[in-house]
Amino acid sequence: MNDILKAKDDKPTGLNLPVPELKDLPEETRRYFEICQTKLGMVPNVLKAYSQNLAQLEGFTRMYNEMMLGESELDKLEREMIAVVVSSENKCFYCLVAHGAAVRKYSGDPMLGEHLVMNYRSADLSPRHRAMLDFASALTRSPATVTEADTDALRQAGFSDQAIWDLSNIVGFYNMTNRVAIASDMRPNPEYHSQSRQPGE
């Protein structure tokens, strides 16, 4: 079971980080990684990279779980769509591969996943989703230009102020993770590339 922490080249990033063996992790962290292995068929490399600093790993996983799995008007697909568009603006390879796979999974539409990775503006989106992704793009590319008019556009598309808060936090979270992944040359797990490539998978 110790090999679940190892990428093919034994490095989840391009940095020389002291990633521990599974047996050397605290029991709670070990159990969490084993659950990832069972449910996902892998331990995502982002978690392996953070495992060399357990306080950071705890902070990262708590924030991720709240942003992506916590209670919100935004459903799981919408949250993953936001992650992909932010990552597309930032050209973050790791996050585009990982969250592109999640969009394919939750939507059952491989074409949508590819559209969002390449250019969400060319995708056939609902007015709600277009407004959501326009906001995510603007807040990523030029945050100083975002004004009340942008949040009003979200309200007109049906978002409550609480949903706008959640959306903004997800955008902020992925701008942070994109920068860490890019700077550390984080490598996507190979499994992501082939996931949900057929309609309805």
Per-residue pLDDT reduced to its tens digit, 1-44: 444 444 445 689 999 999 999 889 999 999 999 999 999 888 99
pLDDT tens digits, residue range 97-128? 999 999 999 999 888 988 999 999 999 999 99
- Just give the CATH number of 76-194: 1.20.1290.10
What is the pLDDT, as a whole number, of residue 1? 44
pLDDT value of position 113: 85
Q: What are the residue boundaries of the structural domains of the chain, listed by start?
A: 2-7+18-69, 76-194
Residue 200 has pLDDT above 90, yes or no: no
The residues, any chain, with a CB within 8 Å of residue 101's CB and separated by 6 or more, are 113, 192, 193, 195, 196
Mean pLDDT, rounded, for 158-171: 98
Two tokens, residue 138: 């603007």
What is the structure's pLDDT at 114? 86
Rounded to whole angstroms, how far apart are CA atoms 162 and 156? 14
Identical topology for domains 2-7+18-69 and 76-194: no
> What percent of the chain is predicted at pLDDT more than 90?
81
Evaluate if pTM is beyond 0.75.
Answer: yes
The two three-digit tokens of residue 184, written as one number: 């550390």
Residue 25 CA to residue 196 CA, distance in Å, equals 31
| Confidence label for 69 from pLDDT (cuts 50, 70 and 90) | very high
Superfamily of structural domain 2-7+18-69: AhpD-like (1.20.5.810)
Return mean pLDDT, the chain.
91
- What pLDDT, on a 0 to 100 scale, did the predictor assign at position 192? 67
**Model pLDDT, residue 35:** 94
| pLDDT: which is higher, 180 or 199 | 180
